[in-house]
Structure 1
Amino acid sequence: MTTAYDFAARTIDGREMSLDAWRGQALLIVNTASKCGFTPQYAGLEALHRRFADQPFEVLGFPCNQFGGQEPGIAAEIAAFCATTFDVSFPMFDKVEVNGPHRHPLYDWLTRQKRGLLGTRSIRWNFTKFLVDREGRVVARYAPQVEPETLEPAIAALL
């Protein structure tokens, strides 16, 4: 059975990274953007990262420019923005596509595991969130308007 840990992606600093590095940990996987109305959710994601820092949990951010061109920067610009504006310390990856023929394999798998509104696979906007259990299975998909802090009980239940 395929799990989230079977995928790899390029980190924001250009290294190929296997999600197997987080095997045994619950994950919150989020497509992010720096110029979106939901961008302040970076603060909530960082709060979750810090709240569960000593537990088997991690937030993984995947910048995406597919929604209104709201992530136009290159990796270094995105990293600098996240660090200086929201003090982001959770792992960030290089830009990916989450929809369409060039969709990253991780997002192809995530959207097959948990469909969105009316059963669609497509990601509708920035800051769609996938919660993965400690066995690497997707247990929930959350719409962009769901604030990260409200996920704390669901995350705690997986730990």
Structure 2
Amino acid sequence: MSVYDFKVKTMEGSEKSLSDYSGKVLLIVNTATECGFTPQYADLQAIYEAHGEKGLEILDFPCNQFGEQAPGADEEIHTFCTGRFGVTYPQFSKIEVNGSQAIPLYQYLVKQKGFAGFDPAHKITSILEGILEKSHPDYKNEPDIKWNFTKFLVDRQGNVVERFEPTADMKLVEEKVKELL
């Protein structure tokens, strides 16, 4: 099994097979428009512009599960992202990444690469840890998604090779992408 075995819903409401991305390096990310990490849209777009022609695709899945920070409809989210950050990579319909309503793709992703911790040097790490410790004291031992802008790096064969928490340095993310290209 690989990520190519899954289908997802586009913003227009049609079904899209991830096998359409076979042979590409994928960066799959759950996003939110009203989050402290929202400026990462600009970083993601810069990575896409630098490496898209070399075989990178970024797949953006808006998610409202963390602090209700993606409240808009799909079209509103898309308009925000294209207008404010110039996003040109594929954006999909809003999803859930955790719990009983999590889409099968995300159920698979977290089984492939679990939570490995936040970057202790990041200024938002202590805030995230405080929020998570209150709501789920054992969060560090669970593989589920912890917050917006968690990224999964997938190789050209559809294998999940790395998971980046939202606190990961985007330069590190880009370096790992380049290694696979």
**TM-score normalized with structure 2 length:** 0.84
Q: Is the partner of 2:69 in helix, strand or coil? A: coil
Q: Is the partner of 1:150 in helix, strand or coil? A: helix
Residue number in structure 1 paired with 2:168: 146
Runs of 4+ in structure 1 off by over 4 angstroms are none
Candidates 132, 152, 155, aligned match of 1:130: 152
Residue number in structure 1 paired with 2:90: 91
Query: How many residue pairs get matched?
Result: 158
RMSD: 1.0
Residue number in structure 2 paired with 1:21: 20
Alpha carbons of 1:142 and 1:6: their partners in 2 closer, same or farther (altered >3 Å)? Answer: same
Q: Which letter does structure 2 place at the counterpart of 1:122?
A: D
Tell me, in whole angstroms, the C-alpha distance in 1 between the residues paired with 2:13 and 2:90. Answer: 12
Matched, 1:157 2:156: no
Q: Which letter does structure 2 place at the counterpart of 1:42?
A: Y
Partner deviation per Cα, 1:117-138 (whole Å, 9 max, x = no partner): 3442110000001000111011
Tell me, in whole angstroms, the C-alpha distance in 1 between the residues paired with 2:167 and 2:75. Answer: 27
Tell me, in whole angstroms, the C-alpha distance in 2 between the residues paired with 1:119 and 1:158. Answer: 28
Tell me, in whole angstroms, the C-alpha distance in 2 between the residues paired with 1:36 and 1:96. Answer: 16
Q: Which has the higher helix share?
A: 2
Shifted more, 139-148 versus 59-68: the winner is 139-148
Shifted more, 15-24 versus 123-132: the winner is 15-24
Q: Which has the larger radius of gyration?
A: 2
Residue number in structure 2 paired with 1:72: 71
Matched, 1:101 2:130: no
Q: Is the partner of 2:4 in helix, strand or coil? A: helix
Tell me the CA shift for residue 16 of structure 1: 1.3
Tell me, in whole angstroms, the C-alpha distance in 2 between the residues paired with 1:38 and 1:71. Answer: 12
Preserved contact between residue 133 and residue 139 of structure 1 (Cα < 8 Å)? yes
Partner deviation per Cα, 1:94-115 (whole Å, 9 max, x = no partner): 0010000010100000000001
Preserved contact between residue 111 and residue 122 of structure 1 (Cα < 8 Å)? yes
